[in-house]
Amino acid sequence: MGKYIGIDLGTTFSCMAYIDDSGQPVIIPNREGKNITPSTVLFDGKNTIVGEEAKNQSILEPANFEQFIKRHMGERDYMFSTVDGEKYSPEAISAIILAKMKADAEEYLGDSVDGAVITVPAYFNEAQRKSTMDAGTIAGLNVIAIINEPTAAALAFGISKGNDKQQTIMVYDLGGGTFDVTILRFDKENIIVLSTAGDRKLGGYDFDERIINAVIEDALDKGLNIQADDIARQDLQLKAEEAKKTLSAREKANIVLNSGGKPYKYTLTREKFVDLIEPLLFKTVGSMETACDEAGVEYSDLDKILLVGGSTRMPLVRESIEEETGITPSSEVHPDEAVAIGAAFHVLDVIKCEKEKVVRGETSDKKVANATIPEVKKQYTFTDVTSHGIGIVVSNRNNEEINSVILPKNTQVPAAYTGQYTTTVPYQESLKIQVTQGEEEDLRYVTVIGTADIEIAPREKIVEIEVSISCDENSIIHVRVYDLDLQRDLGEIYIERVANLNEEEIRQSQQRISKLDISGE
Ligand code: ADP
Ligand code: MG
- Ligand 1 within 6 A of 310 CB? yes
pLDDT in tens, 303-349: 999 999 999 999 999 999 999 999 999 989 999 999 999 999 999 99
**Residue-level pLDDT at 496:** 80
188-192, 303-307, 465-469: the lowest-pLDDT one: 188-192
- Ligand 1 within 6 A of 150 CB? no
- Ligand 1 within 6 A of 235 CB? no
**Residue-level pLDDT at 521:** 65
Specify the ligand 1 atom closest to the Cα of 13: 4
Alpha helices by DSSP H, 223-314? 230-247, 270-295
**Residue-level pLDDT at 380:** 85
Residue 183 near residue 295, CB atoms below 8 Å: yes
pLDDT in tens, 386-437: 888 999 999 998 999 999 999 999 898 889 999 999 999 999 999 999 999 9
- Ligand 1 within 6 A of 179 CB? no
Residue nearest to atom 24 of ligand 1 (CA): 245
* Mean pLDDT value of segment 27-35: 97
What's the 268 CA to ligand 1 centre distance in angstroms?
A: 18
* Mean pLDDT value of segment 119-141: 92
- Ligand 1 within 6 A of 175 CB? yes
Specify the ligand 1 atom closest to the Cα of 241: 16
| Rounded distance between C-alpha atoms, residue 153 and residue 306, angstroms | 9
Residue 471 near residue 386, CB atoms below 8 Å: yes
Residue 33 near residue 57, CB atoms below 8 Å: no
Residues 6 or more apart whose Cβ sits within 8 Å of residue 429 = 455, 456, 458
Specify the ligand 1 atom closest to the Cα of 178: 3
Residue 389 near residue 438, CB atoms below 8 Å: yes
Residue nearest to atom 22 of ligand 1 (CA): 245
| Rounded distance between C-alpha atoms, residue 322 and residue 337, angstroms | 23
